[in-house]
Structures are given as C-alpha cells and as structure tokens.
Amino acid sequence: MSGPGSNDAAAAAGNPRPWWQTAVVYQVYPRSFADSSGDGVGDLRGITEHLGHLAWLGADALWLSPFYRSPMRDFGYDISDHTDVDPLFGSLADFDALLARAHELGLKVIVDYVPNHTSSDHPWFAASRSSRDDQRRDWYVWADPAPGGGPPNNWLSIWGGPAWAWDEATGQYYLHMFLGEMPDLNWRNPEVREAMFDVARTWLARGVDGFRIDVALYVMKDPELRDNPPATGGELTFHKSFGPWDEQLHVNDHAHPDAHEVWREFRALLDAAAPPDRVAIAEVHVFDPVEWASWFGTALDEFHLPFNFSLLQTPWDARAIAETVSAFERALPDAAWPNWVLGNHDEPRVASRVGPQAARAAMMLLLTLRGTPTLYYGDELGLPDVAVPPELMHDPQGRQDPALSRDPQRSPMPWSPGPGHGFTAPGAVPWLPAAPAADDLSVQRQAGDPRSMLSLTRALLAARRASPALSSGDWALEPSPGGVLAYRRAGDDERLVLLNLGAEPRTVALAGRWEVEVATGDRGGPLDAEVALDADEGVVLRPA
Ligand code: NOJ
C-alpha cells in the first residue's frame, strides 16, 4: 500500500523507520507521577525532575495525559482552556521546560488531544448556551425534545443516565457522552473543526512530537440523531461492561464513517508541520481487527497508530493471546505498523489482573511483540491496583459503579521508601493513597535489586533497543506445548520468545543452539535441545 502517509517511500529511500515505530511510549498521568509543590498532586515540574527515570529505563517517548486548564471533574479530560496549563500542574513556562529537558534527554513528547468534548466551563460552551441566537450555539450538539417530550433520542452517557441534559433557559437539550459537565462539540460545524485544529497547531508550534487523541471516533455521530438499536445478543461495545449502556448497540452515537474524513484532515495538518514526523495515536475502542485496521486510513493517511486494546480483553491464556496477536497482525494493512497496550489510566493494573508473577511475563510479552508498546507509569514496578475507600473516591466513573472506578490504577508513583514515597513531601497527603507495599515497590529499592520487576523491564528495553529483530523485525508463531506462547522475531538478527502462561511447568524443544538473553526468573547461559519453563516463566533467547 502506498500513499501520502505510507512509510514505504521512506524505506525505499533507505531512510530509517520513523521514530514512533521503534519507540517505546511511557504514559504519565500527571496527577500521580511526582509532586514538586507538596500539595499532594503531581505537577509538570515534578515530571521534569523525573524525566531521567524514563531515559534510564530505556523509554523513547513520553505521553502526557491532560495538564490543561480544567475544573477537574474528569481530572483534566474536561478542558476549559486547551492552550493553557492548569495552575494545579504549573504554567506554560513549566511545560516548555519539560519539553526542552525531554528533548535534551532524547525523549519525544506526545500530548493528549481531547476533541470530542470540552468542559461546560469552557467559554465556547458559555457562549453556546447563552442564547439560541449566539454565533457559537451550533458549536455543540443541541436538539429539541422528542415529539412526546423527553430527550431527543435514546442515547446514553457512558457514565449513566441519558446522554442529553436539559437547558431550561434556552429550552433545548445538549449532548454529553460523558458527564453533563462535558458537553460534546459539534464537529459537523466547520468552525469547530478549525478551532480545534488550531489547538493542535498551537501545540505543534510549541514543539510537541505528536498527539494521543482521546475517544477519537466519538467526534462524528449520526447526523439525524437516530436511536441506537437494542443489543439483544449480549454484545459489549467495549471490552468491559458499562451496565445499562451495554443494552444498546452503539451504532449511531459514535464512529460514524464521516470521522475518517476528519482524521484525514487532521493527519494532513500533522504532516504539513515541520519537521513532518509528528505522530497521531488514537484512542479507538475497536475490537474487530478488520474494522480496527480501517482507522489507519485506506491510504495510511489517518492514524499512525490506532490504539490496539485487544490484549485487555483477551484471557491470560497462550492460545487466546496467540489468536489475538495473529488476527491483528493479519488484519494490518501493508506498510502499517502495529501497537500494543497492557495498561493505562482507564484500566485495572496488569499486576492485579494477571498476578505479580505473571506480570513479569506480561511485560516480556508487551516489549517483545512487533509494534510500538505503550507502558503505563508504575507498571515497570509491578504496581498493583490500590483500593480506595468509598469516601476517598474521586473518579466520576466510580460514582456510576464503584467496581468501575479508575482511582485504583492512578495511585502515586513510589520513588523511594518512607513518608511521601518521594512522590510528595513527607507529611503531605497524596490525592490518592499509596500502594500498601510502596516502600518495597519503590524505584529506589527495585533499582538496587537485579531480580526486581524494574530491573527486568530495563533489561527488556535494553534488549529491544539492541536487537533489530526485537525492535522492528518480523513476528511469527512457533510450535509450542499447550500453555506456552512461542514466537520468533527476525530481522538482521533473530530472537525466540517463550512464555509459559500456564500454571504448570512445561518443556519446550529447541531447534538449534540458543542462549538466554533476558529471563523473568533466575536463568542464564546456553541451552541445548530444550528448556524447562516454570509456570509464569518467560525467556528471550538469542542464537548461541
Ligand atoms: C478516555 C480517557 O482515557 C478517559 O480517561 C476519559 O475519562 C474519557 N476519554 C473522557 O475524555
């Protein structure tokens, strides 16, 4: 496949791969990473002070979740000024300093871009709701009541109740797919598109290396606002249940095909920026591999990397994972590039999902598959979900259903043992409780322990960087006994990855002579003919 966005032209010209193909992306949730001011909430200066950790670990790019001005009803995903920094996190000067330091360290910086909605505190929405005649009225999605009264259609907010809020003053409903305080923008209005594209241009001009685009497929809905049909077969739209929201098939309230055209335009804007190597990573919750692949664009001219969340819904089982990875590899358009995710600020921590021992194999999987991995802060420490008592719960999604709360996966990064854990000042109260085992899990303790999860992650990143096979080579399944996931990576060199994801020890026969490069357990040296793997054990092998 070729076209304006394709990589084969670069490859044919002998250019190296674009940086975002060989990069490992490290996600920072700004509230939870490092608090330089001692108020219990992380901030930009704190992040800047700890960028050395990313470089030391071996990550290549930082993805920063939102730090823009916001009333924080959804902790920054509800933006009231897209081009300013919220005082809680610092200032624009702090952002510039962060960017400069990251670039000095060789790290790219990807920022969150939130196109679907703004905060209801945004001046655009204040104008829009001020009168039906306001010139910004049509910047949001307003509709009259249904003929019999009540909301215009049956669309639901993901976080409970109708997706429509009644505005008494102007006598119409406005649409909000998330909180009532997060009204949806009307992307069918060219002025909105231009204003939001200007936001992107502003950050590009400041020097960011790309965007992670929030709920990218929500920007276009059915223009006639038709009802969603009922979900009769128990189908889930996402990989987890959102309660009553799952009683509908979400065919009209998001992912309208017109979204392709929006993102093609956005991509052209990125490609026109100098230097033209900025990346568009999109949050797309699409679990059908062929449909997922469509979001690269028919000419690879939409998203460079539509997030692949499939591993989040795949059972922790060798055969199931082999099938998932094969299906997404098969669906990948020629010259497009895969990507993998095992955790983020919306998902239960991988260490809690699969268990602390299996989390080591999970890290090996994430960092040895073909494609750009995204590593969520703290997963390199094996940080678990941290229980948050109901009275301390912050997350609006948790208010809909405490089981869905995302607070547990947003606990403070433990940098060192002792009060505050190096995250905040000793004596300060962190915005969310630290992990009970934060002392032992801390970066400082783990860095000194060659057997720690942190040391394993660092070794995997070093191996990945040093091996063309691991960073960009082909991927192919290898025969293996039940419970073991085995694959070969091949480029200018070769690696074999064996992961025993089952609860029983397994012996894997080896063709040829191999030696252990990285192991989740205590293992090293050359191997002949076979290797006996413990439960949850994984190895990366190189030819001996
Ligand atoms: C997806 C983000 O990842 C999530 O944290 C946020 O709450 C919603 N989009 C709304 O912006």
pLDDT of 5: 37
Tell me, what CATH number does 532's domain have? Answer: 2.60.40.1180
Return the bridge partners of 541, or none: 496, 516
pLDDT of amino acid 428: 98
Q: Rounded distance, CA 535 to CA 532, Å?
A: 10
Q: Is residue 470 part of a domain?
A: no
HEC profile of 499-543? EECCCCCEEEEEEEEEEEEEECCCCCCEEEEEEEECCCCEEEEEE
| Threshold 0.85, pTM exceeds | yes
- Ligand 1 centroid to residue 309 C-alpha, Å: 14
Pair 238, 270 in one domain: yes
Nearest CA-CA partner of 138 in 150, 124, 151? 124
Q: Do the domain assignments include residue 143?
A: yes
Give yes or no: residues 421 and 348 share one domain. Answer: yes
The HSE-up count of residue 352 (CA atoms within 13 Å, CB side) is 13
Ligand 1 and 178: CB distance under 6 A: yes
- CA nearest to 138, candidates 179, 185, 86, 94: 185
What one-character-per-residue DSSP string does 91-138 give? Answer: -HHHHHHHHHHHHHTT-EEEEEE--SB--TTSHHHHHHHH-TTSTTGG
Same domain, residue pair 396 and 534: no
Please give the pLDDT value at position 445.
98
**Stretch (H or E) spanning 290:** helix 289-294
Residues 388 and 537 in one domain: no
User: What residue type is 44 in one-letter code?
Assistant: L
Q: 221 and 304: one domain? A: yes
How many angstroms does the Cα of residue 492 sit away from the middle of ligand 1?
Answer: 40
Which residue has the least CA distance to atom 4 on ligand 1?
Answer: 346
CA angle 533, 57, 273 (to 5 degrees): 120
Q: Are residues 252 and 371 in the same domain?
A: yes
* Angle separating helix axes 190-206 and 258-272, nearest 10 degrees: 30
Per-residue confidence (pLDDT) for residue 243, from 0 to 100 = 83
Are 135 and 235 members of one domain?
no
Q: Any idea what the CATH number is for the domain that residue 164 is in?
A: 3.90.400.10
Q: Is the CB of 215 under 6 A from ligand 1?
A: yes
Q: Residue 481 C-alpha to ligand 1 middle, in angstroms?
A: 40
**Residues 5, 283: Cα–Cα separation, whole Å:** 19
127 and 69 part of one domain: no
Biggest CA–CA distance in the chain, Å, is 78
Closest Cα to residue 469, out of 389, 386, 369?
369
Using the Cα atoms of residue 359, residue 418, residue 42 and residue 386 in order, give the sign of their dihedral.
positive
Give the C-alpha separation, 111 to 203, whole Å: 8
- The percent of residues above 70 in pLDDT, for the chain, comes to 97
Task: Report yes or no: 514 and 526 within 8 Å, Cβ to Cβ.
Answer: yes
Tell me, yes or no, whether 278 and 361 share the same domain.
Answer: yes
Extract the residue ranges of the chain whose pLDDT is less than 70.
1-15
Q: Are residues 455 and 486 in the same domain?
A: no
Instruction: Tell me, using a 6 A CB cutoff, whether residue 341 lines ligand 1.
Output: no
Strand partners, 165: 174
CATH number of the domain where residue 51 is located: 3.20.20.80
| pLDDT value, residue 7 | 44
- Cα–Cα dist 166/181, whole Å: 12
Are residues 128 and 203 both part of a single domain? no
Residues contacting residue 120 through CB under 8 Å, at least 6 positions apart? 78, 180, 181, 182, 183
Number of domains, the chain = 3
One domain for residues 151 and 31: no
**Using CA atoms, how far apart are residues 107 and 104, in angstroms rounded to an integer?**
7
Q: From the alpha carbon of 345, which atom of ligand 1 is closest?
A: 5
| Domain extent at residue 134 | 123-175
